[in-house]
């Protein structure tokens, strides 16, 4: 289908989040630091300079620290500026003060727009630059003094960013402005780090108090923090006041600074008078080293801070907290007496309903409400309230109603597609995601939140008719609750000692879920009566770099016991077991394979309605499946970019387990090259469903399979669920007919859906894969389920369960087979997957095909686990050869290894045998790990000129290890592995 442009279908109405995205378009990412080796040493000391800078940023929850490049000479500086784009330059001026000034002139000639700052070593050096003021005026943007803390670099960076972003951020985001008027380099070098630290700390605190916000939204909200604008003259200060009066949050001013080119003892007092005359009730702070000026501050209704105070940081913090809307909202009456306090947005709205009229008038006249809202990043609501004055309303009653209506309208609008704090009355909706506990949503949770937001912001009915697109009802317990559980049960020192899974699982099961979470879970179950899935959502799961696909646990619960305490116990046990699944041997092996620390992982938990209906005591969806936007195994006229899907009847456990499914291309759903004989042989024979009659549920004993049962396909036919999903083999005419009234073998081919389009599943997948790969900027995989019963609008519903990036590296290797010496090939495959070149592997593990027994594949998997462990201990990667499908759950179609059992394999080769299929497990978690880690994955159906494995060469190599089924051999020289992802051709050659 034609490419759909997201920009044309995604709603353009800007939410607060959209506005946050637009803020701070200029970011300082690259800084050129020019300093002599001696001057640099005074700062760098033990060489931890960069670490300290990053540390300062992380302390303030700033997610990206700038990168510093240090040079020592004029020539090095000019060369660096020529070879890379820098956002600002810092010149260190130590013993030699003249050279930096000369260099600044050269830099400005090359790039007049790049900010250039001078950093002097100590206060005594400032006199030189005061005398050279005229000389540096056009070349130096500002002088700072080194005060012994790397926070000065953060302040210098933020000073430039705020200066550059001031106009755009105030215009697009109505961001507030803190005006700092100070001409003393010594004082503003001390002041700015304190001010930025206080503002950012307070902003972060306020945002963290809003528990329903996901982590990325918190980061974006930090962009809406007030801008700190530093000026040093009366004229510059007045210009800022006049231009940004409506955004002015406060004025912090020295008393004595330049006016009309000369120092004036009254500049600060007159500036505050000028601001107060605007009648905007803007908080003002006068700061001076002369404590006598405290009286003058009082006379102009300004606060006062002593510059030399030992508690300067605390004084600034308190001013910001109490006067700038960062603290709790204190409702006061006309005399200033406190009448109520609101600590959160919910409390504020509730108190707004009944606070006295005079209190509402008191705050409305001073723009106090919008100021407080802006501090919380509630930009749209704040802007709506700021447009109106008291005079616009006939009565205080009308004013109050207007304020409450603005809050209500904003909440309703923002609820859809959002993550919202748990309330019992909002459980039964799939238009948003409910947060049951604070902290990150984890990888799967982020994917679901992304899906929810997209579904609610795109009018899918225009793109996909005759089917609804939705997500199941979803609640998420954030990772902070995992930390709370570990802390409450004092587990940290116990679970990380030997990491023995059985011991860890017992400790988790004996632990108690925090009381506040148990209360919410009970309230949740009082409203939720559908079967539920309790799914893992680790921080690393489905990430862009390492997906950890299928590594952790998922538990299904019928959730139908008449005793809610039984249901609650089952739910809390499931949560504990999901937490504990971080420590399974499979997960620990995966951590080792990708070189991550298990201590870094934290677990969020998704509680999700199971898609489906109940049929004769069993619960399952009509169809479940997995689809990817990139197909590594296209055939006929398919293109890799057309994608593929695998679908089956029943629960998705069947699909992700890599069992026999129906595979098709959404772009060409009718295309089928398999013979009727193969279609019958490879058809789905059974399915999974939740046993709704099971009252003996023992999750600890039976694990993830506690309530799921394998049923025969005939059971689905009795339930009426083969109607659209199966055809019948007509012996007399040797063809498949989508007519279940005919006697004969049932073949699950979804003919009515895919060939005759009774439900537009293929079209829906085509559109969704197209849209979401654009939205994620990478190939993607989605998991989904279909409920074909007529729901809302009398239409079936297509449920999106999960999305993750399908990571693959750029196609960079081009194999020309005409130039390949086939006498030196160990393997040639024209159905290969992977990209790039590997030249370090000498070790090969292969099966002795004479000993192969398809009934012993589980034993083979056990042997491979032992071999793989030895290879891990030696730090060796290897090439793995073996028959059938690797990673399947069906032991009769391949070797049912877990990913952890072959995790050190860099190349996996499936060899064809007469009675073993070679359809790769494209829907399985195993396969997702293969693709994301760029493991070579090759299929050699049978030896031919274009497909072969040279077993004779393998047999001649030095044997390192031999067990019953497998041999480990080592080549003298590293093998060359070439993977051409575009052509799907791969070769392994030896020397």
Provide DSSP, 808-821. Answer: ---------GGG--
Shared domain for 796 and 851, answered yes or no, is no
Helix or strand or coil: residue 141? coil
Can you tell me which residue has the tokens 């309303």? 393
Of the pLDDT bands very low, low, confident and very high (cuts 50, 70, 90), residue 367 is low
Tell me: the pLDDT tens digits for 819-857? 888 889 999 988 777 777 888 999 999 998 888 888 899
Contact 568, 521 (CB under 8 A): yes
pLDDT of residue 240: 96
Query: Which of 805, 832, 855 represents a domain boundary (last residue)?
Result: 805
How deeply is 815 buried, as exposed, middle or buried, from its count of CB atoms within 10 A (0-12, 13-18, 19+)?
Answer: middle
Query: Which of 127, 149, 171 represents a domain boundary (last residue)?
Result: 149
Q: Is the pLDDT of residue 315 over 80?
A: yes
pLDDT of residue 211: 47
Comparing CA positions, the residue from 75, 78, 73 lying closest to residue 37 is: 73
Q: Is 98 within the bounds of a domain?
A: yes
Q: Is 378 within the bounds of a domain?
A: yes
Shared domain for 514 and 629, answered yes or no, is no
Q: DSSP string covering 597-620, please?
A: -GGG--EEEEEEEPPSEEETTEEE
Helix or strand or coil: residue 52? helix
pLDDT of residue 679: 84
- Give, in order, the Cα–Cα distances in Å from 839 to each of 21, 361, 843, 960: 43, 75, 12, 20
Cα 112-116-121 angle, rounded to 5 deg = 160
Q: Is the pLDDT of residue 21 over 70?
A: no
Contact 228, 180 (CB under 8 A): yes
Structure tokens at 862: 């056990």
Contact 383, 371 (CB under 8 A): no
Distance CA(506)–CA(172), nearest Å, equals: 54
Q: DSSP string covering 566-606, please?
A: HHHHHHHHHHHHHHHGGGSHHHHHHHHHTT--GGG--EEEE
Percent of the chain residues past pLDDT 90, beyond the cut: 37
Contact 533, 555 (CB under 8 A): yes
Can you tell me which residue has the tokens 């010496």? 821
How deeply is 757 buried, as exposed, middle or buried, from its count of CB atoms within 10 A (0-12, 13-18, 19+)?
Answer: middle
Q: Are strands 177-181 and 248-253 parallel, antiparallel or unpaired?
A: parallel
396-415 vs 379-386: helix axis angle to the nearest 10? 150
Shared domain for 431 and 513, answered yes or no, is yes
Tell me: the pLDDT tens digits for 849-862? 888 888 899 999 99
Contact 195, 159 (CB under 8 A): no
> Average of pLDDT values for 84-98?
87
Comparing CA positions, the residue from 865, 902, 899, 900 lying closest to residue 881 is: 902
Q: Is the pLDDT of residue 50 over 70?
A: no
Distance CA(895)–CA(886), nearest Å, equals: 5
Distance CA(6)–CA(1), nearest Å, equals: 14
> What does the mean pLDDT of the chain come to?
83
> Average of pLDDT values for 278-291?
86
Distance CA(191)–CA(234), nearest Å, equals: 19
Distance CA(642)–CA(775), nearest Å, equals: 17
pLDDT of residue 545: 47
Distance CA(938)–CA(491), nearest Å, equals: 44
Shared domain for 531 and 642, answered yes or no, is no
Q: Is 726 within the bounds of a domain?
A: yes
Tell me: the pLDDT tens digits for 660-708? 788 889 999 988 767 788 788 888 999 999 999 988 899 988 888 899 9
pLDDT of residue 44: 57
Can you tell me which residue has the tokens 């509680």? 607
| Total tally of structural domains belonging to the chain | 5
Residues in contact with 917: Cβ distance below 8 Å, sequence separation at least 6, in sequence order: 682, 884, 885, 893, 894
Shared domain for 635 and 536, answered yes or no, is no
Q: Is 529 within the bounds of a domain?
A: yes
Helix or strand run (H / E) with residue 717? helix 713-718
The CATH number covering residue 565 comes to 3.30.1490.20
Helix or strand or coil: residue 266? coil
- Helices (DSSP H) in 875-991: which residue ranges? 925-932, 951-955
| Residue 776 CB neighbour total at 10 angstroms | 17
Comparing CA positions, the residue from 155, 116, 162 lying closest to residue 139 is: 116
Helix or strand or coil: residue 418? coil
Q: Is the pLDDT of residue 929 over 90?
A: no
**Secondary structure tally for the chain: helices H, strands E:** 37, 47
Q: Is the pLDDT of residue 233 over 90?
A: yes
pLDDT of residue 17: 54
Helix or strand run (H / E) with residue 32? strand 30-34
pLDDT of residue 530: 93
Least confident range from 26-40, 500-514, 909-923, 954-968: namely 909-923
pLDDT of residue 1: 47
Shared domain for 827 and 972, answered yes or no, is yes
| Phi, psi (rounded to 5 degrees) for 651 | -65, 150
Q: Is 6 within the bounds of a domain?
A: no
Domain housing 542: 426-462+475-603
**Range ranked top by mean pLDDT from 315-329, 368-382, 599-613:** 599-613
Shared domain for 343 and 381, answered yes or no, is yes
Helix or strand run (H / E) with residue 118? strand 116-120
Distance CA(792)–CA(468), nearest Å, equals: 8
**Range ranked top by mean pLDDT from 164-173, 403-412, 498-507, 692-701:** 692-701
> Average of pLDDT values for 236-245?
94
| Residue 502 CB neighbour total at 10 angstroms | 9
Contact 946, 959 (CB under 8 A): no
How many angstroms separate the first and last alpha carbons of the chain? 46
Shared domain for 833 and 979, answered yes or no, is yes
Query: Which of 118, 149, 180 represents a domain boundary (last residue)?
Result: 149
Shared domain for 580 and 694, answered yes or no, is no
Can you tell me which residue has the tokens 């699909």? 655
Tell me: the pLDDT tens digits for 468-514? 999 999 999 999 999 999 999 988 888 877 778 888 899 999 999 99
> Average of pLDDT values for 422-447?
83
Distance of CA 704 to the CA centre of its chain: 26
Q: What is the CA radius of gyration of the chain?
A: 33
The CATH number covering residue 134 comes to 3.40.50.2300
Of the pLDDT bands very low, low, confident and very high (cuts 50, 70, 90), residue 42 is low
Structure tokens at 520: 């919410």
Helix or strand or coil: residue 434? strand
Which DSSP letter does residue 933 get?
T
> Average of pLDDT values for 619-638?
83
Tell me: the pLDDT tens digits for 772-815? 888 887 888 899 999 998 766 789 999 999 988 875 544 457 78
Structure tokens at 110: 């090359």
Structure tokens at 45: 């000391």
Which DSSP letter does residue 793 get?
G
pLDDT of residue 443: 84
Shared domain for 648 and 786, answered yes or no, is yes
Q: Is 871 within the bounds of a domain?
A: yes
Q: Are strands 227-231 and 338-342 parallel, antiparallel or unpaired?
A: unpaired
Strand stretches in 152-297, DSSP E: 177-181, 227-231, 248-253, 257-259, 262-264, 284-288
Q: Is 221 within the bounds of a domain?
A: no
The CATH number covering residue 718 comes to 3.30.470.20
Tell me: the pLDDT tens digits for 114-141? 999 999 887 777 888 777 766 677 789 9
Q: Are strands 780-787 and 623-628 parallel, antiparallel or unpaired?
A: antiparallel
Q: Is 295 within the bounds of a domain?
A: no
Cα 792-794-797 angle, rounded to 5 deg = 60
Shared domain for 846 and 758, answered yes or no, is no
Can you tell me which residue has the tokens 């989040």? 17
Tell me: the pLDDT tens digits for 732-763? 888 898 888 888 899 999 999 998 888 999 99
pLDDT of residue 544: 46
Of the pLDDT bands very low, low, confident and very high (cuts 50, 70, 90), residue 13 is very low
- Helices (DSSP H) in 733-782: which residue ranges? 751-754, 761-776
Comparing CA positions, the residue from 67, 125, 65 lying closest to residue 101 is: 125
Contact 933, 834 (CB under 8 A): no
Shared domain for 666 and 738, answered yes or no, is yes
98-110 vs 74-83: helix axis angle to the nearest 10? 20
Helix or strand run (H / E) with residue 165? helix 151-173
Distance CA(218)–CA(260), nearest Å, equals: 44
Of the pLDDT bands very low, low, confident and very high (cuts 50, 70, 90), residue 361 is confident
Give 320 or 720, the one with higher predicted confidence.
720
pTM: 0.56
| Phi, psi (rounded to 5 degrees) for 168 | -70, -40
Comparing CA positions, the residue from 777, 541, 783, 757 lying closest to residue 669 is: 757
The residues pairing with 330 across neighbouring beta strands, listed in sequence order, are: 341
pLDDT of residue 248: 86
């Amino acid at each position: 289908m034609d490419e759909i442009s997201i920009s044309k279908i995604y709603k353009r109405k800007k939410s607060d989040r959209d506005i946050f995205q637009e803020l701070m378009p200029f970011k300082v990412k690259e800084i050129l630091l020019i300093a002599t080796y001696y001057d640099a040493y005074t700062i760098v000391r033990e060489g931890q300079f960069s670490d300290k800078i990053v540390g300062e940023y992380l302390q303030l929850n700033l997610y990206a620290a700038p990168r510093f490049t240090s040079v020592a000479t004029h020539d090095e500086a000019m060369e660096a500026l020529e070879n890379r784009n820098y956002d600002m330059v810092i010149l260190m001026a130590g013993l030699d003060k003249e050279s930096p000034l000369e260099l600044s002139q050269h830099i400005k000639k090359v790039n007049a727009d790049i900010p250039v700052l001078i950093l002097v070593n100590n206060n005594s050096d400032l006199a030189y630059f005061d005398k050279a003021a005229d000389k540096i005026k056009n070349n130096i943007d500002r002088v700072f003094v080194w005060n012994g803390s790397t926070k000065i670099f953060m302040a210098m960076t933020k000073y430039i960013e705020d200066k550059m972003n001031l106009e755009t951020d105030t215009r697009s985001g109505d961001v507030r402005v803190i005006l700092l008027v100070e001409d003393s380099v010594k004082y503003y070098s001390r002041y700015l780090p304190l001010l930025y630290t206080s503002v950012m700390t307070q902003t972060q605190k306020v945002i963290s108090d809003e528990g329903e916000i996901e982590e990325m939204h918190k980061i974006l909200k930090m962009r809406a923090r007030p801008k700190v604008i530093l000026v040093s003259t009366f004229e510059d200060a007045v210009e800022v006041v006049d231009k940004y009066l409506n955004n002015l949050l406060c004025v912090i001013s020295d008393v004595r600074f330049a006016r009309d080119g000369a120092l004036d003892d009254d500049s600060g007092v007159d500036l505050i008078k000028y601001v107060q005359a605007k009648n905007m009730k803007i908080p003002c702070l006068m700061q001076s080293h002369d404590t006598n000026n405290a009286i003058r501050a009082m006379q102009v209704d300004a606060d006062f801070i002593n510059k030399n105070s030992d508690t300067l940081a605390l004084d600034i913090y308190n001013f910001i907290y109490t006067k700038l809307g960062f603290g709790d909202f204190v409702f006061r009456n006309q005399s200033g007496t406190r009448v109520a306090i609101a600590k959160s947005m919910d409390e504020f709205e509730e108190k707004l309903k009944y606070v006295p009229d005079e209190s509402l008038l008191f705050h409305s006249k001073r723009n106090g409400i919008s100021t407080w809202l802006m501090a919380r990043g509630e930009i749209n609501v704040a802007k709506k309230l700021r447009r109106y004055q008291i005079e616009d309303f006939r009565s205080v009653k009308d004013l109050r109603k207007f304020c409450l209506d603005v809050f209500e309208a904003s909440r309703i609008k923002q609820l859809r597609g959002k993550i919202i704090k748990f309330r019992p009355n909002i459980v039964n909706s799939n238009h948003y995601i409910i947060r049951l506990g604070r902290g990150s949503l984890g990888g799967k949770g982020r994917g679901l939140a992304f899906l929810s937001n997209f579904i609610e912001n795109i009018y899918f009915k225009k793109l996909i008719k005759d089917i609804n697109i939705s997500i199941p009802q979803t609640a998420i317990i954030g990772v902070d609750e995992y930390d709370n559980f570990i802390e409450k049960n004092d587990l940290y020192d116990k679970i990380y000692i030997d990491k023995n899974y059985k011991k860890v699982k017992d400790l988790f099961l004996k632990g108690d879920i925090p009381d506040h979470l148990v209360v919410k879970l009970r309230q949740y179950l009082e409203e939720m009566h559908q079967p539920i899935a309790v799914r893992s959502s680790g921080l690393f799961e489905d990430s862009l770099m390492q997906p950890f696909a299928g590594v952790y646990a998922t538990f299904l619960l019928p959730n139908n016991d008449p005793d809610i305490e039984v249901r609650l116990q089952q739910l809390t046990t499931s949560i504990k077991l999901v937490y504990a699944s971080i420590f399974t041997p499979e997960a620990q092996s995966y951590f080792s394979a990708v070189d991550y620390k298990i201590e870094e992982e934290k677990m969020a938990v998704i509680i999700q309605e199971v898609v489906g209906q109940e049929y004769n005591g069993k619960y399952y969806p009509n169809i479940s499946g997995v689809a990817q936007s990139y197909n590594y195994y296209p055939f006929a006229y398919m293109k890799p970019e057309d994608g593929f899907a695998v679908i089956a009847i029943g629960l998705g456990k069947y699909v992700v387990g890599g069992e026999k499914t129906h595979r098709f291309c959404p772009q060409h759903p009718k295309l089928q090259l398999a013979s009727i004989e193969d279609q019958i042989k490879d058809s789905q024979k059974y399915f999974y469903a939740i046993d709704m009659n099971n009252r003996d549920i023992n999750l600890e004993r039976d694990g993830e399979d506690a309530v799921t049962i394998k049923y025969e396909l005939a059971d689905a036919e009795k339930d009426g669920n083969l109607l659209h999903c199966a055809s019948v083999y007509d012996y007399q005419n040797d063809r498949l007919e989508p007519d279940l009234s005919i006697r004969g073998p049932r073949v699950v081919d979804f003919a009515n859906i895919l060939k005759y389009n009774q439900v537009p599943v293929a079209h829906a997948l085509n559109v969704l894969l197209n849209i979401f790969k654009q939205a994620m900027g990478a190939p993607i995989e989605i998991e989904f389920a279909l409920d074909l019963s007529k729901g809302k609008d009398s239409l079936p519903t297509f449920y999106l369960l999960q999305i993750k990036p399908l990571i693959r590296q750029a196609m960079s290797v081009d194999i020309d087979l005409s130039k390949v010496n086939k006498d030196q090939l160990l393997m040639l495959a024209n159905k290969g997957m992977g990209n790039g070149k590997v030249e370090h592997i000498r070790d090969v593990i292969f099966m002795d095909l004479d000993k192969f027994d398809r009934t012993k594949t589980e034993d083979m998997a056990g042997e491979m686990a032992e071999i793989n462990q030895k290879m891990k201990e030696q730090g060796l990667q290897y090439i793995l050869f073996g028959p059938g499908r690797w990673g399947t759950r069906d032991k009769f179609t391949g070797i049912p290894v877990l990913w952890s059992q072959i995790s050190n394999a860099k190349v996996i080769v499936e060899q064809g045998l007469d009675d073993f299929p070679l359809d790769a497990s494209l829907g399985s978690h195993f396969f997702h790990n293969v693709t994301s880690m760029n493991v070579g994955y090759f299929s050699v159906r049978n030896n031919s000129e274009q497909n072969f494995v040279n077993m004779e060469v393998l047999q001649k190599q030095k044997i390192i290890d031999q067990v019953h089924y497998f041999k480990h051999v080592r080549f003298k020289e590293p093998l060359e592995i070439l993977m051409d992802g575009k052509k799907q051709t791969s070769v392994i050659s030896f020397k």
